[in-house]
């Protein structure tokens, strides 16, 4: 499709201007956009030669001012992420894998199956690599799942290849570089690339281990802290261990960005009689097992997993602490697919990551989920203020819908180590993390929408964390041997490996009974919460707060569903009392969202578009959320269309199309320009019209329509979801849609 600038002829522009006088919305959106299309931030997207890759500028960078151009001769290492294929079908598969009524329930894919069905094509890989080589960049390797192309080359060549300008910044006393604009690629590569990790050196992922030199409740460790026996007693792990379910023949992957000292871990194992070492290293992107400042985290993770699942094999994945290193390390865990449980204690607040980085990570976690891998990630130690400032924020990757976010509590036990109570961990007087204090992370994602398993559990439109919690207060911390000495450590980075160890023991128990394991964990854990169980699976945390959100009865944004009773969880799952796979306690109903890239953050991915004037219809002129939306018309005699083909499930019971709509117009009130949302068959014949909107100056409002009656005869078939806009020659109007969803209950 030819892409050209969206401009008006002079007479029509003057006519439109007369109508626009006094209309602030139109002046801001339509008028300013026309000027911007010539020389503003959208010029690259509309100029015909380049396709802009949106979402690479982290919102947190707005706080900083570029100093000067970076040294173009320095070498850069990039991880270029390619978009998955058939994402709507992948989402449907994930829903079916977690639905006990589906024939695909717990039928997980191998890495080879996933690549065959959803990986980028070899043709896309060859097109992208050829382009990168033509710009002087060297291809280091291509990941086995074809999602990641690792590249290195000079900054000058990177800037040329992606049409970016990279400048140095002073990041709180540290000099780092970052792009001034989103990258772009030739228009014929539109939809192939989702993210280019490594264009900046700002990101530094944090670990959440906190050493407490003088714990208030010392417990039994050599320097205080909870021992393996204490943890097993408090969280009811002993019934599993006594039955021989200690992680034998199971593998846990530990995601790490630093090395460790093996003798430290071995000292811990010997002290607590946990058996011979069962760990091995997987080094990524040239990383080495050299203990640095983050060694305390790596050793904590290994020791806590050993305390709970001493028979499990541990794979320690160590990668560089950079966006490219993080992408490659997670992808290695997923493509190896040897560990069905993954512990993550490193993270970054969402606003320090660009949307494209979050989406590329999410593609990796989706593959892991489809393979039956469960990811447990620390939710952060800055309470509800994960960016360590005064703004509410949550941590990535805990906020990803395919990762279990683990919050923090303060655990109280009696003299015999038996569980007494817990409260949410927070301390506003300790400002080592940020001005608000420290505490278990939790809150509302600013990027991911609410997943199906949280339907009926929380009412926010977006994903919330944590999902679950465990002890994290350094004052009630864990006995560990780290960096050559005994000590007591807390933080949600201790709670995450504890949950990983518990899940490993439970999986072994369920396998021994020929029962389904937790798989990718979310649906199983939430189903235990939403359906009445014979044995209570969680300790409900009802006191304390995480510096903003209070603990309440039931689910809350400070502690999630609560902390584990491992023995009860294992028995409830073995008894099959999980209430179905859809979440929300709906008696087996599963809710699935079928549109791929409905928030348009991945550009044209998933969409077919046409424009009478040859315009690209997805850009960032006006957005409801994120950095992109669908933009229709804005020129006279317009005729624009966006569509996507979806497959309706054969067991669909109800179907709804929803989207957010905004408009701007130069018309004087008559309905001359329209936008229609409709469903068509594969031949283009209209099945039903959902809504028709006339030209108007309007802020964002949600439009929703129940299409069940019209579409039930088409169950199991493909249909097209279509937005079509048309206008006359009198005055131009613009329509914007965002956050579209086609929701099916079955």
The CATH code of the domain that includes 341 is 3.40.50.200
Residue at 595 is within a domain: no
- Same domain? For 401 and 520 the reply is yes
CATH code of the domain in which 78 resides: 3.30.70
Residue 588 binned pLDDT confidence (cut-offs 50, 70, 90): very low
Residue 113: CB partners within 8 Å, gap ≥ 6? none
Quote the pLDDT of residue 449: 92
- Same domain? For 566 and 610 the reply is no
pLDDT at 497 over 70: yes
Residue at 271 is within a domain: yes
CATH code of the domain in which 636 resides: 2.60.120.260
Which of 88, 241, 76 is CA-nearest to residue 162?
76
Domain that holds residue 176: 59-84+119-197
pLDDT at 658 over 60: yes
- Same domain? For 173 and 290 the reply is no
Q: What percent of the chain is predicted at pLDDT more than 90?
A: 68
pLDDT in tens, 327-358: 999 999 999 999 999 999 999 999 998 899 99
CA gap 524, 191 in Å, rounded: 34
pLDDT in tens, 416-438: 889 999 999 999 998 777 789 99
**Mean pLDDT value of segment 291-299:** 95
Quote the pLDDT of residue 628: 87
Quote the pLDDT of residue 621: 87
Residue at 615 is within a domain: yes
Please say whether the beta carbons of 630 and 738 come within 8 A. yes
Half-sphere exposure of 151 (CA within 13 A, CB side): 29
Residue 166 binned pLDDT confidence (cut-offs 50, 70, 90): very high
Quote the pLDDT of residue 615: 87
Quote the pLDDT of residue 39: 31
| pLDDT top residue among 84 and 26 | 84
Among the three residues 552, 585, 618, which one is the final residue of a domain in this structure? Answer: 585
* Three-class secondary structure of residue 615 per DSSP: coil
Quote the pLDDT of residue 217: 60
Please say whether the beta carbons of 437 and 427 come within 8 A. yes
Q: Which helix (H) or strand (E) holds 658?
A: strand 654-665
Among the three residues 169, 197, 225, which one is the final residue of a domain in this structure? Answer: 197
Quote the pLDDT of residue 15: 32
Decide: residue 263, CB within 10 A, 0-12 exposed, 13-18 middle, 19+ buried.
exposed
- Same domain? For 459 and 543 the reply is yes
Quote the pLDDT of residue 40: 29
Which of 106, 206, 204, 209 is CA-nearest to residue 498?
209
| pLDDT top residue among 102 and 299 | 299
Residue at 110 is within a domain: no
- Same domain? For 377 and 274 the reply is yes
**Mean pLDDT value of segment 655-660:** 91
pLDDT at 2 over 60: no
Greatest mean pLDDT among 49-58, 314-323, 350-359, 411-420 lies in 314-323
Beta bridge partners of 241: none
Residue 63: CB partners within 8 Å, gap ≥ 6? none
Quote the pLDDT of residue 262: 97
Residue 440: CB partners within 8 Å, gap ≥ 6? 379, 380, 381, 383, 407, 408, 409, 424, 425, 426, 466, 469, 472, 492, 495, 546, 558, 559
**Mean pLDDT value of segment 631-657:** 90
pLDDT in tens, 3-18: 333 433 333 333 333 3
Q: Name which of 265-274, 442-451, 481-490, 601-610 the model is least confident about.
A: 601-610
Q: Provide the 8-state DSSP code for 391.
A: S
Quote the pLDDT of residue 416: 86
Residue 190: CB partners within 8 Å, gap ≥ 6? 51, 603, 604
What does each C-alpha distance from 641 to 388, 556, 610, 646, 722 come to in angstroms? 43, 42, 5, 16, 7
Please say whether the beta carbons of 648 and 716 come within 8 A. yes
pLDDT at 233 over 60: yes
pLDDT at 26 over 50: no
- Same domain? For 14 and 135 the reply is no
- Same domain? For 247 and 184 the reply is no
pTM exceeds 0.85 for this model: no
pLDDT at 30 over 60: no
Three-state secondary structure along 22-60?
CCHHHHHHHHHHHHHHHHCCCHHHHCCCEEECCCCCCHH
Token code pair at residue 526: 């939430």
**Mean pLDDT value of segment 298-320:** 98
**Is omega for the bond preceding 54 within 30 degrees of 0, making it cis?**
no
* Three-class secondary structure of residue 162 per DSSP: helix
**Mean pLDDT value of segment 356-362:** 95
- Same domain? For 191 and 215 the reply is no
Alpha carbon of residue 94 to chain centroid: 15
Residue 42 binned pLDDT confidence (cut-offs 50, 70, 90): very low
Looking only at the bridges linking them, the beta strands covering 279-283 and 341-344 are: unpaired
**Mean pLDDT value of segment 713-719:** 86
CA gap 118, 85 in Å, rounded: 5
Quote the pLDDT of residue 434: 77
pLDDT at 38 over 60: no
- Same domain? For 157 and 279 the reply is no
Quote the pLDDT of residue 210: 64
Which of 81, 182, 79 is CA-nearest to residue 124?
81
- Same domain? For 478 and 334 the reply is yes
Name the CA dihedral angle for 233, 304, 293, 255, rounded to a multiple of 10 degrees: -140
Residue at 328 is within a domain: yes
Residue 280: CB partners within 8 Å, gap ≥ 6? 313, 314, 315, 316
- Same domain? For 569 and 714 the reply is no
Rounded to the nearest integer, the mean pLDDT of the chain is: 88
**Mean pLDDT value of segment 640-666:** 89
pLDDT in tens, 541-575: 999 999 999 999 999 999 999 999 999 999 999 98
The count of structural domains within the chain is 3
Q: Name which of 205-219, 355-369, 515-529, 682-696 the model is least confident about.
A: 205-219
The phi, psi pair for 543, rounded to 5°, reads -125, 155
Residue at 187 is within a domain: yes
What does each C-alpha distance from 409 to 231, 492, 539, 707 come to in angstroms? 13, 9, 11, 45
Residue at 1 is within a domain: no
Task: Return the exposure string of 708-722: e unless at least 16 CB atoms fall within 10 Å of the residue's CB, then b.
Answer: eebbeebbeeebbbb
Residue at 674 is within a domain: yes
Among the three residues 167, 197, 227, which one is the final residue of a domain in this structure? Answer: 197
Residue 466 binned pLDDT confidence (cut-offs 50, 70, 90): very high
Quote the pLDDT of residue 620: 86
Quote the pLDDT of residue 584: 32
**Mean pLDDT value of segment 55-83:** 93
pLDDT at 577 over 70: no
pLDDT in tens, 200-216: 998 888 886 666 666 66
Quote the pLDDT of residue 501: 98
- Same domain? For 647 and 575 the reply is no
């Amino acid at each position: 499709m030819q892409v050209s600038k969206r401009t008006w002829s002079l007479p029509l522009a003057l006519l439109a201007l007369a109508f626009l006088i006094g209309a602030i919305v139109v002046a801001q959106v339509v008028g300013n956009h026309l000027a911007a299309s010539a020389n503003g931030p959208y010029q690259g997207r509309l100029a015909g030669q380049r396709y802009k890759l949106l979402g690479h500028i982290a919102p947190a960078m707005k706080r900083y001012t570029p100093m000067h151009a970076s040294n173009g001769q320095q070498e850069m290492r990039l991880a270029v992420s390619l978009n998955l294929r058939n994402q709507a079908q992948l989402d449907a598969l994930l829903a079916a894998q977690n639905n006990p009524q589906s024939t695909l329930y717990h039928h997980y894919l191998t890495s080879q199956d996933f690549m065959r069905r959803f990986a980028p094509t070899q043709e896309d890989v060859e097109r992208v690599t050829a382009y990168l080589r033509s710009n002087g960049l060297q291809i280091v390797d291509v990941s086995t799942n074809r999602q990641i192309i690792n590249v290195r080359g000079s900054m000058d060549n990177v800037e040329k290849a992606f049409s970016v300008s990279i400048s140095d910044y002073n990041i709180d006393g540290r000099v780092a570089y970052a792009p001034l604009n989103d990258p772009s690629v030739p228009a014929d590569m539109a939809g192939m690339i989702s993210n280019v990790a490594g264009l900046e050196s700002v990101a530094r992922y944090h670990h959440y281990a906190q050493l407490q030199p003088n714990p208030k409740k010392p417990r039994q460790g050599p320097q205080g802290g909870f021992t393996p026996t204490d943890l097993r007693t408090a969280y009811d792990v002993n019934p599993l261990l006594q039955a021989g379910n200690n992680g034998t023949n199971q593998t846990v992957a530990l995601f790490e960005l630093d090395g460790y000292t093996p003798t430290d871990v071995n000292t811990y194992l010997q002290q607590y009689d946990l058996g011979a070492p069962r760990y091995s290293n997987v080094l990524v992107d040239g990383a080495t097992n050299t203990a640095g400042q983050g060694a305390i985290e790596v050793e904590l993770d290994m020791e806590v997993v050993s305390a709970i699942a001493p028979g499990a094999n541990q794979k320690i994945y160590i990668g560089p602490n950079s966006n490219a290193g993080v992408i490659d390390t997670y992808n290695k865990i997923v493509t190896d697919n040897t560990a069905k449980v993954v512990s993550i204690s490193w993270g970054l607040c969402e606003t320090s990551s660009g949307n494209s980085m979050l989406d590329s990570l999410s593609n990796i976690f989706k593959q892991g989920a489809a393979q039956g891998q469960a990811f447990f990630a620390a939710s952060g130690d800055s309470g509800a203020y994960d960016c360590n400032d005064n703004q509410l924020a949550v941590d990535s990757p805990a906020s990803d819908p395919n990762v279990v976010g683990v919050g923090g509590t303060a655990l109280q036990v009696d003299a015999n180590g038996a569980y007494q109570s817990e409260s949410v961990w927070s301390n506003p007087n300790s400002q080592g993390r940020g001005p608000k204090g420290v505490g278990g992370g939790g809150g509302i994602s600013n990027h991911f929408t609410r997943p199906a398993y949280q339907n009926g559990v929380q009412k926010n439109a977006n994903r919330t964390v944590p999902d679950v919690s465990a002890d994290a207060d350094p004052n009630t911390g864990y006995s560990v041997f780290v960096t050559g000495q005994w000590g007591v450590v807390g933080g949600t980075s201790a709670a995450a490996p504890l949950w990983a160890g518990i899940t490993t023991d439970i999986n072994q128990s369920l396998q021994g009974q020929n029962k389904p394991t937790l798989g990718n964990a979310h649906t199983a854990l939430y189903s235990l919460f939403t359906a009445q169980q014979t044995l209570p699976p969680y300790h409900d945390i009802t006191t304390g707060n995480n510096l903003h959100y209070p603990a309440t009865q039931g689910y809350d944004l400070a502690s999630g569903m609560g902390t584990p009773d491992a023995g009860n969880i294992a028995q409830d799952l073995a008894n099959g009392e999980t209430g179905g796979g859809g979440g929300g306690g709906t008696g087996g109903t599963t809710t699935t969202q079928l549109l791929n890239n409905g928030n348009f953050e991945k550009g044209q991915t998933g969409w077919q578009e046409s424009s009478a004037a040859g315009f690209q219809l997805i850009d960032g002129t006006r957005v409801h959320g994120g950095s992109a939306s669908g933009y229709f018309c804005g020129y006279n005699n317009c005729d624009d269309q966006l569509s996507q083909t979806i497959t309706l499930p054969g067991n669909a019971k109800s179907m709804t199309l929803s989207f957010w709509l905004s408009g701007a117009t130069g018309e004087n009130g008559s309905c001359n320009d329209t936008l229609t949302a409709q469903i068509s068959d594969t031949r283009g014949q209209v099945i039903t019209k959902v809504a028709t909107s006339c030209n108007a100056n309007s802020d964002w409002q949600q439009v929703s329509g129940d299409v069940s009656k019209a579409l039930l005869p088409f169950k199991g078939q493909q249909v097209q979801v279509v937005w079509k806009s048309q206008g006359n020659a009198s005055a131009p109007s613009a329509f914007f849609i965002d956050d579209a969803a086609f929701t099916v209950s079955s």
